[in-house]
Chains A and B, each alone.
Chain A
Amino acid sequence: MIPAAFTYKKAGSVDEALSLLAEHGDDAKLLAGGHSLLPLMKLRLAVPEVLIDLGGLRELSYVREEGDEVRIGALTRHHDLEHSELLQQQVPLLAHAAGTIGDPQVRHRGTIGGSLVHGDPASDLPAVALALDAVLVAQGPSGTREIPATEFFTDFFETALGEDELLVEVRVKKAPQQGWDFQKFTKRAIDWAVVGVAVAGQRVALVNMGPTPMRARGVEEALASGASPAEAAERAAEDTSPPDQAGASAEYREHLAKVLVRRALENAANRGA
């Protein structure tokens, strides 16, 4: 399988990427690690006329401290998140979850920005960003703006990022003492999660339980009013609309969400200071 023909452009800088985006608009797609986009292009589910490769933008690959935050360049690869000592110490949920994505080959290519912008409800990092209350920094022709993760995922594979914007940075609060956990259930190790759960403190987010990654607000409310992990987990499927497919029915996913939320909350409670 090969993708439909396109014109390849390599961006040498963020400014060049933005001007290529302005020039080609709707006809263009941005290429980061390519591990979501290239498979879609091979299946002709995405047929961009122009592919703007961001792979050369080393300036967007970093993990660094800034006050009470850790700031992560959008082109930081899953492999680098997994092995970042700073993240392991300050935001262990993100380092751990990144290390469970796909397989080592995928983690050598895939990036945090690519994963978030793709907006796939079955991907791991969008739910992790929601649980961490991350702030996403978008850069466009008129400068940068901050978008809370809770406002970023708007619909199935749709995000709040403008067509002329590029995601440049992800900001998360340091929380070394906070209880956390990441659970996902897959049929094969490298598959997308049937259901996944990210927990950071009292925040809980779900993978693959609807058209977007989402916070489990019912569970969070229950925790806030003093419910035990087991009691709170009973509300895991509230306000969800999981996919109903041959391999996993909606009912099965609702059940699985409750099981995984309970496990994640119990593990998080054991980890918390």
Chain B
Amino acid sequence: MQVSINVNGEQRSHEVEDRTLLVHYLREECGLTGTNIGCDTTSCGACTVLLDGESVKSCTVLAAQADGREVTTIEGLADGEELHPVQRAFQQKHGLQCGFCTPGMVMASVSLVEENPNLTEAEVRAGLEGNLCRCTGYHNIVEAVLTAAKEKQGAAE
């Protein structure tokens, strides 16, 4: 089937098998390998991307379900050389160790901060329940999200 998806602001059209998963579409058809495949079972969150601005696990969405919609991957966050505030906060607070979960963590955090910048630490931890860090580096990840949330609150005031 033909799918037409706006990926990171660029309208793309590809012929795919009906059963193609969004994560495979992004990595193999679009060449966007920033989105990692971790558990492949909707558990780990490594493959998290934004679908119409909301976090989803792209291993459990068909490319066909994203037809006609907008997808944002980790590659689509920065504005040229300018990092997205959440990316910058992950860098500043060193919200990563091995880095494998990072693209998914960042995308889940972007969605979380967008929905509610007025986050408490408990809400950040609950909001990232769907993302696993095998290095167990959660402390700095939570710090990074709180930093990004504060920055967004500051910008809104």
The residues of A with any CB-CB pair to B shorter than 8 Å are 1-8, 10, 31, 34-35, 38-39, 42, 51, 53, 55, 79, 102-106, 108-109, 189-190
Contact = CB atoms under 8 A, between A and B. Distances in A.
A189 B18 contact: no
Contacts of A105: 42, 45, 48, 55-57, 108, 130
Contact of B129 (A3, A4, A42, A190): A190
Interface of B: 1, 17-21, 24, 40-43, 45, 48, 51, 54-57, 60-62, 64-65, 67, 108, 111-112, 126-127, 129-131
30 contacts: A1-B41, A2-B20, A2-B24, A5-B18, A5-B19, A7-B18, A8-B19, A8-B64, A10-B67, A31-B65, A35-B42, A38-B60, A38-B61, A39-B41, A79-B54, A103-B45, A103-B131, A104-B55, A104-B108, A104-B111, A104-B130, A105-B42, A105-B55, A105-B56, A105-B108, A106-B130, A108-B51, A108-B111, A109-B56, A189-B129
B97 to A, nearest CB: 20
A2 B19 contact: yes
A185 to B, nearest CB: 15
Contacts of A10: 64, 67
A189 B122 CA distance: 13
A35 B60 contact: yes
A53 B65 contact: yes
The 7 closest A-B pairs by CB, nearest first: A103-B130, A8-B18, A189-B129, A103-B129, A108-B54, A105-B130, A105-B57
Nearest to B41: A39
B56 A34 contact: no
